[in-house]
Amino acid sequence: MTKNEIKIFSPATVANVSCGYDVLGFCLDTIGDEMIVRKTEKKGIFITKIEGYKLPFEAKKNVAGVSALAMLADAQPNCGFEIEIYKKIKPGSGIGSSSASACGSVFAINELLGRPYNKTQVTDFAMKGEALASGSEHADNLAPGIFGGFTLVKSTSPLEVLQLPTPKDMYATIIHPQIEIKTSDARAILPKEFPLTDAITQWANVGSFVHALHTNDYDLLKRALHDVIVEPHRSRLIPHFAEVKSAALIHGALGAGISGAGPSIFTLSKGIENAKSVERAMRDVYSSTTIAFETYVSRINTGGIKIL
Ligand SMILES: Nc1ncnc2c1ncn2[C@@H]1O[C@H](COP(=O)(O)OP(=O)(O)OP(=O)(O)O)[C@@H](O)[C@H]1O
Ligand SMILES: N[C@@H](CCO)C(=O)O
């Protein structure tokens, strides 16, 4: 028998992972939103509660509503759904705030409908919601939320997601300076063309990163975590980016870069002690400024969205 109500934890995610603009991502487990979704007799999508941040209640203006409406248009169920969003991930943070809502609603509705769609199809509906926030369809935040762990989006049309292995002992440290960068703005500042030499460096890094995950090769992973395409343009939107990155690398991070469209900065480390030492080093940089910030140390969440 299918349930009438479900409560979920929809985790924050890190997109791009330096070398993989729009294709690589991974899932965190210490920060995420909670959502409650329940069936209603009346057809349609009704956002009835939003706590944490001010966001639109109108389904067509909220990413959770847009992805849910896309799923309903296809599934044509004999009921509707109301959605409560308990938002912990600040919108415009760069750790997939919009994505957590966009995939949370469709994950939950799929469960309440008896799971008619597979993970790729659920991600495809979520992409319709994410497009509202970023102005384009991409799935590098959504796929790690739905599949868990590290993911590679092989293509968006048709959507093809590859789940990648997570090396043992891998931790992420995130610092989130409390300024907002809209993904649509961060995309608009990127050049439309890049030198072929930079493209060659970048795709060699993506291939090496994926190989490193498969072979548990931390040394190769460290050498692959570089971004010559996007970071040079976006880093100027993030105050003290260069100092934070260099402090993280000096204190044992394997790599550091912009999380999604920023302003959060992510690092990957081997072992919790390194991850915590990187956290202290990054906090020290912002502590000497007037910028408010938060930090998170997290295991890589290999399960993705969780039913509570
Ligand atoms: N349910 C929702 N949750 C979060 N943001 C939403 C939601 N619905 C609409 N939005 C809008 O989406 C924008 C935030 O999305 P944006 O992609 O810019 O940030 P992000 O998801 O934190 O970043 P990134 O994708 O880089 O990790 C804001 O303008 C916000 O008002
Ligand atoms: N790949 C996306 C992630 C943010 O949605 C970007 O960097 O613009």
**Helices 119-134/63-75 angle, 10° precision:** 140
Q: What is the pLDDT of residue 136?
A: 82
Q: State yes or no: pLDDT of 2 exceeds 80.
A: no
CA of residue 220 to ligand 2 center, whole Å: 24
CA of residue 211 to ligand 2 center, whole Å: 23
Q: State yes or no: pLDDT of 58 exceeds 90.
A: yes
Q: What is the mean pLDDT of residues 46-67?
A: 98
Helix ranges (H only) for the chain are: 63-75, 97-112, 119-134, 142-147, 183-188, 196-215, 218-224, 231-234, 241-250, 272-287
Q: 98, 137, 185: which to mutate for ligand 1, most atoms within 8 A of CB? A: 98
Q: What strands lie across the sheet with 293-299, from one edge to the other?
A: 255-258, 265-270, 170-177, 293-299
**Residue 134's pLDDT band (boundaries 50, 70, 90)?**
confident
Complete domains list, the chain, with CATH: 5-165 (3.30.230.10), 170-299 (3.30.70.890)
With 0.90 as the threshold, say if the pTM is over it.
yes
Is 193 tagged catalytic? no
83-96 per-position pLDDT tens digit: 999 999 999 999 99
188-213 per-position pLDDT tens digit: 999 999 999 999 999 999 999 999 99
Q: State yes or no: pLDDT of 184 exceeds 90.
A: no
Query: What percent of the chain lies above the pLDDT cut of 70?
Result: 99
Q: What is the pLDDT of residue 261?
A: 95
Interior CA angle at 101 toward 70 and 182, to 5°?
A: 105
Q: State yes or no: pLDDT of 1 exceeds 70.
A: no
23-38 per-position pLDDT tens digit: 999 999 999 999 999 9
Contact criterion met (CB below 8 Å) for 153 and 144? no
ipTM: 0.95
Is 137 tagged catalytic? no
